[in-house]
Amino acid sequence: MKVIAINGSPRKKWNTATLLEKALEGAAGQGADTELVHLYDLDYKGCTSCFSCKLTGGKSEGRCAMNDGLTPLLRKIEDEAGALVLGSPVYFGAMSGEMRSFLERLLFAPLVYSKPPRSVFPRRIRTGVIYTMNVTEQMSRERGYGQMFGMAEGSLRMIFGESSTLCCYDTYQFPDYSKVVMEYADPAHKAARRQTEFPRDCQRAFELGRALAGGV
């Protein structure tokens, strides 16, 4: 089984990437072949609304017709992936732009405008999304982040058949808070959470990866 992790953060060695690596460790422990892809390494755009994927009998029906740096990844997912785990920081109450553009290309092509809408992706696969954010869980509820989490999970479930969400709150953003203006954050509190809560988040990510690869 192939489990592919998609990093939608510009950082390759921080919160989001670390949690994705832990998820892949969990998947590998179940015997899965794993791969981590950094979206910021790829040169691509979001959907251009060409609708080639919707032309009945067209050569790109059900598949994104754009040809750029994202195309090989989309083909690999279609041909090889048994599970996907996506990771994104939350910027201004939403996924990163790179993750959003990736999802436009991944999800729109196999979506059929039938009644009800259906997917022509060639098989059912498990998916999971890991979010990292500076705000607390309470602040995320007050700001309505749950709607964004639910919409993404619902879209993934509609196309691929199964999805789950893992949220990591109140993250430690900077190696040295003295070098940035961050007056509302308590560096000592952030550092303490990094020591106590982030290892728990890593374990939850590990278990997510294990479940995606078929573990109980």
**59 falls in which pLDDT band (50, 70, 90)?**
confident
Q: How far is CA 24 from CA 1, 7, 80, 157, in A?
A: 12, 12, 16, 21
Give the domain 2-209 fold. Rossmann fold (3.40.50)
- Domain locations along the chain: 2-209
Query: Residue 25 above 60 pLDDT?
Result: yes
Distance of CA 109 to the CA centre of its chain: 18
**pLDDT on residue 202:** 96
Predicted confidence (pLDDT) per residue in 136-181, tens digit = 889 889 999 998 999 999 999 999 998 999 999 988 776 776 666 7
Question: Which neighbouring-strand residues pair with 111?
Answer: 119
pTM for the complete prediction? 0.91
Q: DSSP letters of 194-216? A: HHHTHHHHHHHHHHHHHHHTT--
Predicted confidence (pLDDT) per residue in 78-89, tens digit = 999 999 999 999
Which has the higher per-residue pLDDT, 195 or 104?
A: 104
